[in-house]
Structure 1
Amino acid sequence: MNITPIAFASTPFKEKFGIPRQPSLIKHANSVIEFVSPYDQPDAFVGLEQYSHLWLQFGFHQHEHAEFKPLVRPPRLGGNKKTGVFATRSSFRPNSLGLSLVELKQVILDKKTSLIVSCPDLLDGTPIYDIKPYIEYSDSAINPQCGIAKNAPSSKLDVVFSDKARAMLHALTKNGYTNLECFVKEVMEQDPRPAYKQQNEDPKIYGMKLYAFEIKFRVEQNSLIVIDITS
């Protein structure tokens, strides 16, 4: 079976580093799902506005040719212990396919057919292979068993912006990047560093690309300090 993308996602996440490890963790992030011909016909979207959430089936396009490995190191186990790939949501999968639940904000059927969705965990340029509406009575399990991911991550970092970074945030917000401070804070609270780096003192200064900006930060104990934001 050959599958081809029906759409592509435009998101703030320009590299893997910084993408939330699950959907719905970042509330102030939006993505545009732009459909390609012949899947952009308005008739295909009749009734979609009646749903609040969608399942996106997508491709981990940067891992399409990665060698299959039956064991992976999920962040939930600290990045050091291994478990079976089918017991995780690792991006290194046999067919490089992923599944993500997003909130539908708007259906646009003008010159270009697209959807505005929130809470994505997708890399910019991600190919979308199918969408389906979320149906609560069938998609929500009762008393599920969730293995190593029984609960949401318990600890979040306190995010502190330097005066220089806060001034840049203010300028960018005036230029149309609404809710930018909330978005950056939500990303940083999750501690985007590799899991094995989170266990010990880490003096390194990290850089992350969000939108068209590079954000530099470091972590001191339970605080993440945003040092600078540059374009």
Structure 2
Amino acid sequence: MNIEPIAVIYTDFSEKFGIPRQSGLVKQLTGKIVFEKKYRDVLAIQGLEEFSHVWLIWEFSKSNVNPEKFVPMVHPPKLGGTTKKGVFATRSPFRPNRLGLSSVEILQIDTTSDQAPVIYVSGIDILNGTPIYDIKPYIPYADAHVDAKEGYTVSTKDTRIDVVFEKDFSDIISEETKQTLTEVLRQDPRAAYNKKEDYIYGMAFRECDVRFKVEDNILKVVDICYRDDNFKEIK
């Protein structure tokens, strides 16, 4: 079977660091889905406006996994980097076919612009420019399992931390951007195995570079600046 992208999603994240680890965790994060020309036909999404959510099947396009080497065990980041689980018991990007799955809310469907149809969604957990391989409607009676077991994730699902801004950045970011960024940072972007006190972390968000540290389980934003040609990424 040969598959090809049907669309591309555009989001606020130009780098992997900082992206929520699951879809729906930050409702304020939005994405714009633009179809490839071959699939750019409003008839293809007729009826989708009747649904509130969709499933997106996409590619971990920046994953450096070697497709020739199957790795059966991975380290879920929420488990501290020391505990291994079977790759098919995780949502790790280090998987044979590099496919991701996200459940997102439909905000708007544009059927009149030059790029139509364009789908605007919220609750994303996807890198900017990511290829989309399929879109399917979320069907509550079939997709929602209220008695489902959470497995090892039950101990890691609510690990949000407090966020404070050490100074006023209103000359750089809007109040809406600040609120969205706050919710992103509350998820604690740091890997569980790389949590250092007083270390300055860097994260790209929208057109800005955000620098922060964590002290006494409080994430403190110490600087925000515009990204430009002189910007140097933190590795």
Per the normalisation by structure 1, the TM-score is 0.91
Equivalences for 1:157-168 in 2 at 5 Å?
157-164=161-168, 166-168=169-171
Task: Kindly indicate which of the two structures has a greater share of residues assigned to helix.
Answer: 1
Native 8 Å contact 1:57 1:131 kept in 2: yes
Equivalences for 1:19-38 in 2 at 5 Å?
19-38=19-38
| Equivalent in 176, 179, 190 of residue 193 of structure 1 | 190
Native 8 Å contact 2:162 2:219 kept in 1: yes
Aligned to 1:71: 73
Aligned to 1:97: 99
Native 8 Å contact 1:76 1:148 kept in 2: no
Deviation at 1:172, TM superposition (A): 3.0
Output one character per residue of 1:107-166: Cα deviation in whole Å (capped at 9) or x when no partner: 1122102110000000111100000000000011141112111366323211010214x3
Unaligned runs of 5+ in 1: none
Amino acid at match of 1:208: M
Aligned to 1:172: 173
Aligned to 1:10: 10
Native 8 Å contact 2:75 2:83 kept in 1: yes
Evaluate the alpha carbon distance shift between residue 197 and residue 167 of structure 1 in structure 2; reply closer, same or farther with a 3 A threshold.
same
Deviation at 1:78, TM superposition (A): 1.3
Could you tell which deviates more after superposition, 19-28 or 68-77?
Answer: 68-77
Unaligned runs of 5+ in 2: 227-235
Deviation at 1:64, TM superposition (A): 6.2
Equivalences for 1:72-221 in 2 at 5 Å?
72-109=74-111, 110-113=113-116, 114-150=118-154, 153-164=157-168, 166-168=169-171, 171-173=172-174, 179-198=176-195, 201-221=196-216
CA–CA separation in structure 2 for the residues paired with 1:45 and 1:206: 41
Aligned to 1:56: 56
Q: Percent identity?
A: 45
CA–CA separation in structure 1 for the residues paired with 2:145 and 2:81: 28
Deviation at 1:31, TM superposition (A): 0.4
Number of aligned residue pairs: 222
CA–CA separation in structure 2 for the residues paired with 1:64 and 1:75: 16
Q: Could you say what the CA RMSD is over the residues aligned between the two structures, in angstroms?
A: 1.5
